[in-house]
Amino acid sequence: MRFTSRFIFNAAVLALASYASAQTFVAFSGDTCNGDEGADVVCNGDCGSFSGRHSFHVLGSSASVLLFEGDGCTGEGFNFGTETAGECINVNTGTPISSFICG
């Protein structure tokens, strides 16, 4: 019984530690990471909305970012490559961007 409790405790500590160091993606309505701030989104490869946003930064560590014209990560894609943590990126692709993937 003691082994099981200790194992669960250690697993919980490791899970929290990995979550705390995960990259997060934050988008803004302004061109220089100003204006309305979107939610902090964990960079886990899922598709998220970028509608009404014009800049972003990644927090935690560097992450790869792809932006798409269409909702649901469809249409023309723009690979913004690996972005340095904390660096503000102005999204100026010449076309509206509606969604993103960060991983």
CB of 66 within 8 A of CB of 39?
no
Low-confidence ranges of the chain (pLDDT < 70): 1-21
At residue 62, the pLDDT reads: 86
pLDDT at 14: 35
Q: How many residues does the chain have?
A: 103
Question: What per-residue confidence (pLDDT) applies to 83?
Answer: 84
* Strands lying side by side in the sheet with 89-90: 41-42, 24-28, 55-59, 89-90
Please give the pLDDT value at position 15.
38
| Cα–chain center distance at 51 | 14
pTM (2 decimals)?
0.76
Q: Reduce the secondary structure of 26-62 to three states and give it as a string.
A: EEECCCCCCCCECCCEECCCCEEECCCCCEEEEECCC
The CATH code belonging to domain 23-102 is 2.60.20.10
Give pLDDT, residue 12.
Answer: 35
